[in-house]
A = this chain, B = another copy of it.
């Protein structure tokens, strides 16, 4: 992509309304724009990151055997009356009347609707287990939306729903999502630690939050240092096999948010030199809630003995739009964002340091053409800005690899490659750059 043809409205000033660094950097880097309190438009740079995160979430859900569908944003109020949550949900639910005065709502979550879909079609235990997910916009009418996409009102969430004949099956489904979440966040370059959690309005008696460690996080976190170095399950993890060893490994070391922190247990279980007290951001939560929805909504299947029983359910959320902010909170410095490669809007940026110089222009065009042909997603800064402004913009928007092309280096047949994550720099020939980044 040529920057001269891209839409990247970088702000020079720090926006006053932004209280936290991810909000500030997303506005400054031209990633998004607020359209109403807690409602954002994703500008092209931000949209690219959102799509990359969404795709990683999708791939790992698919790998774990979940099936993607797509439920609508609007739901019938009557569906929520069946579960008893319509009145219980309170003012965070956005309630809507259509032209015929039918009561709708903008879905904040989908337990009711997916249960209604399930019960309409599935009648036998033979069709279980089943895990259905979608990635769709949700709405929660927060009293005081803030922190940009970290606590917006209209937000993108992946929510999966599992259906099993009994608790043992439901725990297997729960474990699959637990493992899928470990892989999902690791692929985004994040340390996300599963922590035992309260179940809140979803209900049930088993839940884990996945917490990304970031010094600027919303809540305090206490854990055993060793939990930070546990191995992530590999690409070929067998989801049909026994996942208990992985779950046990990840849940036997102390890890808790301040809400449920037990100082006495922490001190007795964790040696002093291994006690970590930092901050974190919740990016996912998984729930096992048994028959809470299948009882009230009559989602029954015939068991092997022919008797109808309510299914055992779980739900599994990932905050897709929130992750954009969470990754920035975890990956930035004073100059701007430092995208992990897997979610970067572009893998590399070419900075033409003397636009209009025939040799420099020619070298940049050639690099751009060759990298693009090799499938490297590259942003070519071909604008007439000064070199200093180009450096600052590239650092701000956080592209992992910057290729600096100027007349001096070119005289020696070299360009400079800067790695955004650690600031390291290396001179190399354009051909070597192509080989390095396309490799």
Beta-carbon contacts of A84-124 to B below 8 Å, as 1s and 0s? Answer: 00000001101010110010101000000100110011100
Residues of B within 8 A of A143 (CB): 99
Task: Find A36's partner among B5, B43, B75 (CB 8 Å cutoff).
Answer: B75
- Tell me if A377 is interfacial: C-beta within 8 Å of chain B: no
- Tell me if A71 is interfacial: C-beta within 8 Å of chain B: yes
Complex CA–CA separation, A5 to B130 (angstroms): 8
Chain A residues 28-70 with CB under 8 Å of chain B are: 30, 33, 35-37, 39-44, 46-47, 50, 65, 67-70
Residues of B within 8 A of A106 (CB): 74, 96
Q: How far is the CB of A141 from chain B (nearest CB, A)?
A: 5
A74 and B5 contact, CB distance less than 8 A: no
Q: Give the dominant DSSP class at A's interface.
A: mixed
Residues of B within 8 A of A74 (CB): 36, 39, 106, 139, 154
- Tell me if A73 is interfacial: C-beta within 8 Å of chain B: yes
- Tell me if A76 is interfacial: C-beta within 8 Å of chain B: yes
B67 and A44 contact, CB distance less than 8 A: yes
B99 and A91 contact, CB distance less than 8 A: yes
Given A76-B35, A76-B36, A132-B7, CB of A70 within 8 Å of CB of B50: yes
B137 and A35 contact, CB distance less than 8 A: no
A72 and B6 contact, CB distance less than 8 A: no
Of chain B, the residue at the smallest CB distance from A120 is B33
Copy tally for this chain in the complex stands at 2
Complex CA–CA separation, A3 to B98 (angstroms): 39
- Tell me if A9 is interfacial: C-beta within 8 Å of chain B: yes
Q: How far is the CB of A32 from chain B (nearest CB, A)?
A: 9
Given A7-B130, A36-B102, A94-B96, CB of A41 within 8 Å of CB of B67: no
Q: How far is the CB of A49 from chain B (nearest CB, A)?
A: 11
Complex CA–CA separation, A46 to B72 (angstroms): 13
Given A39-B74, A143-B99, CB of A68 within 8 Å of CB of B47: yes
B67 and A7 contact, CB distance less than 8 A: yes
Residues of B within 8 A of A5 (CB): 65, 67
Residues of B within 8 A of A137 (CB): 72-73, 137
A154 and B72 contact, CB distance less than 8 A: yes
Besides the known contacts A42-B69, A94-B96, 14 further A-B residue pairs in the complex with CB atoms under 8 A apart: A9-B122, A35-B72, A35-B75, A36-B76, A40-B72, A41-B71, A44-B132, A50-B70, A72-B154, A91-B99, A92-B99, A94-B98, A98-B141, A98-B153
User: Can you offer 19 A-B residue contacts whose CB atoms are under 8 A?
Assistant: A5-B65, A5-B67, A7-B67, A33-B117, A36-B74, A41-B71, A41-B113, A42-B71, A43-B69, A43-B117, A44-B69, A50-B70, A73-B137, A73-B154, A74-B106, A91-B99, A94-B96, A96-B96, A99-B141
